[in-house]
Amino acid sequence: QELTFLSKREILLAYKRFSELLPKEERENACSARVPKSQILTLPELRANPFQHRICHVFSTSESGDDSMSFEDFLDMLSVFSDSATSDIKSHYAFRIFDFDNDGTLDRRDLEQLVNCLTGQGEESRLSSAEMEQLIQNILEESDIDKDGTINLSEFQHVVSRSPDFASSFKIVL
């Protein structure tokens, strides 16, 4: 409880939800088990999230890179997405989720993937290359304070700090 932004009740509920994702024979050892990414993605709270794969990737501590989650990973994820988590914590993880190539900056390719996730991959919803270029240009003009063509964590946090609804929209409630 001291290591998360969750109450005792929320942790117990998280444990119940986590163990339900395991096969029956593994439920007794839920604390040491890993739930495959495919099972994590069945959670209704993640199913509709356009960043579901990135969320699993960012919170998984799997050595094999399969994005499976331990109970601790699962708790970390729920803690960051809880109402009690600070804006700084939320924006730090949002930045990591949006940093598709994991290089510590949001460049044009990250921003393009971000926009595609938000607009959907369908033909009718996809932006034209001119619209995409204009949108990315607008994002960089608004956010890239040092004008290096990328958005670093502090620039991202600066933009997010001016968005009053960010913290309340960046959440998962079990």
At 174 the pLDDT is 77
At 121 the pLDDT is 67
Phi–psi pair at 10, nearest 5 degrees: -65, -35
**Domains of the chain (ranges plus CATH)?**
8-81 (1.10.238.10), 87-170 (1.10.238.10)
CA distance linking residue 171 with residue 174, whole number of Å: 10
CA distance linking residue 79 with residue 5, whole number of Å: 5
pTM of the model: 0.92
Is residue 73 a contact partner of residue 60, using CB atoms and an 8 Å limit? yes
DSSP 10-52: HHHHHHHHHHHTS-GGGGGGTTT-EE-HHHHTTSHHHHT-TTH
Question: What integer best gives the mean pLDDT of the chain?
Answer: 94
pLDDT by residue (tens digit) across 40-87?
A: 999 999 998 999 999 999 999 999 999 999 999 999 999 999 999 999
* pLDDT over threshold 70, residue 93: yes
pLDDT by residue (tens digit) across 19-29?
A: 999 999 999 99
CA distance linking residue 16 with residue 10, whole number of Å: 10
Of the chain, the percentage scoring pLDDT greater than 90 comes to: 86
Residues 6+ apart with CB under 8 A from 44: none
pLDDT by residue (tens digit) across 4-18?
A: 999 999 999 999 999
